[in-house]
A and B are shown apart, each in its own frame.
Chain A
Amino acid sequence: MSTAERISLWLAQLRASGRASVLARLVIAAAGAVALGVPALQSWDQLDLIPLLGVPMLLAAVVVPDSVAGLVFLLIVAAGWFMRAPGAVSWSLAVTAIALLVVHLASSFAAQVPSYARVHPDALRRWWLPGAIAVLIVPVVAVAAALVRGADVPGSLLVTVGALVLATVVIWFAAGQKLGRD
């Protein structure tokens, strides 16, 4: 298939996009815009490079949700936050985190169906519970982090090692690794 045919096919598929696919992509675009816009409105000065890199990646994630563009976008926004933000937990941080989570979930949904497919209205029924829990985790963790930081808990080495082990276990399990040979 030549490049011209590919573009023609892609445009034809774009014209024939289903409602579910269009909605999912609109959600990606809106949540991505929030994730890029909120850090830009903060008092600390965001790197100019972040929107320059983030906007193309967001567009790529909207057009091709089943790609690495979404991952790159998440890391760019997070990197922009870590480089200049003071490290304090705030509501703007929670809003940005929720926006990144929504970008991830909407990309996941849009990636599993062809853009032109007709999707049953009940297709999201198994997404509401984990999605809602994940969204709730954001303010809970934010509040917990603020409390720990405010309490100035001693013995940070122990806390650090414990968190490291917990994070490792979570990643190990989520990555599908097993302790046995098979």
Chain B
Amino acid sequence: MRWQPTHAQIRAVCAAAVLLGIAVLARRPDAAVFGLPLAFVAVWGRYFRPRERPEVHTELDANALFEGQATTYRLRVSGTVDPDIDLIVAALPRSQWFQYDPPQAAIAEPVADGAVTLEVGLRSKRWGLRALERPTVAATSTLGAYRVQVTSAEPLAVTTLPLRAGFEAVDAVPRPAGLVGLHRSRRPGEGTELAGVRPFRTGDRLRRINWSVSARTRELHVTSTWSDRDTEVVILLDTGGEIGISEGIEGRSSSLDTAVRAAASIAEHYLRHGDRVRLIDTGNLVRGVRSGSGRGHLRRILDTLVHADRKGRQQDEHQLARRNRIRSDSLVLVLSPLLRQAMLGYVVTLVHSGCTVIAVDTLPPDIESIIDLDEHDSRTWPLAWRLRLLERRRDLDRLSDLGVPTVPWRGAGTLDEVLRDAARVASAPRMRS
């Protein structure tokens, strides 16, 4: 694309031509007074016309953000910039999930010392992987006489990880297993948590001998510890439907928003404490995350959660059970609006296989009042939702009878009570029928 004259240049040329023609032909000096300044402006604009097209490169300070974090979108005119270029104007196509600074994401900067850099602040408001559309960039010459559209820029994408608020839960897990992790265990073994001092037994390690107690009692004693435990926490994410309205971190949350944010917080909490965490996405056959631990594993889970809004084929109850085999001593946290029969059926299957299952209800509390007037009837829609919620209440009561507690997601402390109850039930003596 070449430098093209603008309306301003055409206006100056045409007006000057007409007025100077009248001045000469009609012997009207007043027409020359009108026309000569415009002719001068036209000549100035023409004389200082740039010849070269600028090259624009775009970059992001950071392409992975947490929700609410901001970065800078930078548009750099590189190389030798034609000195006759006056302004570089750039406008970013706006997305509802970013907040821009300036708010309209359009900026005009003069070229100074042969270089120019345009910066637009970006603040991400919702998790997900989003491509930034190419900006519209134009360069103009002095007096706005010529303009060229600059096709810029490499396509860029921002990954927004769904982790924001810190999540904490009580230090209780129903069935701790294994020997790694930072939690206290009810099982004595190698660890760091002091359990007591007891007489030496065959098999005790020599480095465990408590010499001061042994000297005092004249009998060998060892310091015993509780084994550090790890448990497998399975996060079952129901991506079968997005219910409610998503307005980003500062507005209302849909069921999928709540589920994804809860999954990230729970994974971060348990991985921080040394447990193994597994993620199952019901809408994706291949994108689950196998059981693992550590910071790298958290990043794997977050990267997977970023794609949770991609519409995948939902698995039914049998497919879920066949493809996702879960150990019977696992703690399964189901993040779901609990409306799909396939999901409820899979939860029952998990309970029957011996897992400890806790259902986290992600249905927005104001769901009855969310009406799309273009699609729903304002009278029957709330009534339909009331009936559906009554049915759902019945299903949740049945789950409760099976020992599956249901708690709405409230951030930190959501799982405390149900985890304590589950730990108490798991440690109680079992009655065989």
Contacts and interface: CB of A to CB of B under 8 A. Distances in A.
B7 A97 contact: no
Nearest to B49: A176
B99 to A, nearest CB: 14
B315 interface: no
Interface stretch (A26-34, A48-56, A86-94): A86-94
Interface in A107-135: 107-109, 111-114, 116-120, 122-123, 125-127, 130-131, 133-135
B110 A112 contact: no
Interface in B25-64: 25-47, 49
Interface in B99-120: 102-104, 106-110, 112
- In which size bucket is the chain A interface? 35 or more
A72 B405 CA distance: 75
A111 B146 CA distance: 11
B6 A138 contact: no
A1 interface: no
Contact of A81 (B20, B30, B47): B30
A123 to B, nearest CB: 5
Given A112-B140, A113-B89, A174-B42, A78 B104 contact: no
Chain B interface main SS type: helix
Contacts of B18: 75, 78
Nearest to A163: B24
A176 B44 contact: no
Given A104-B41, A167-B24, A111 B143 contact: no
A164 interface: yes
Interface of B: 5-47, 49, 86-87, 89, 91, 102-104, 106-110, 112, 138, 140, 142-145, 147
Interface of A: 13, 16, 18, 20, 66-68, 70-71, 74-75, 78, 81-82, 85, 87-89, 93-94, 96-98, 100-101, 104-105, 107-109, 111-114, 116-120, 122-123, 125-127, 130-131, 133-135, 137-138, 141-142, 145-146, 148-149, 156, 160, 163-164, 167, 170-171, 173-176
Given A104-B15, A148-B29, 5 more contacts: A117-B108, A142-B33, A163-B20, A167-B17, A175-B46
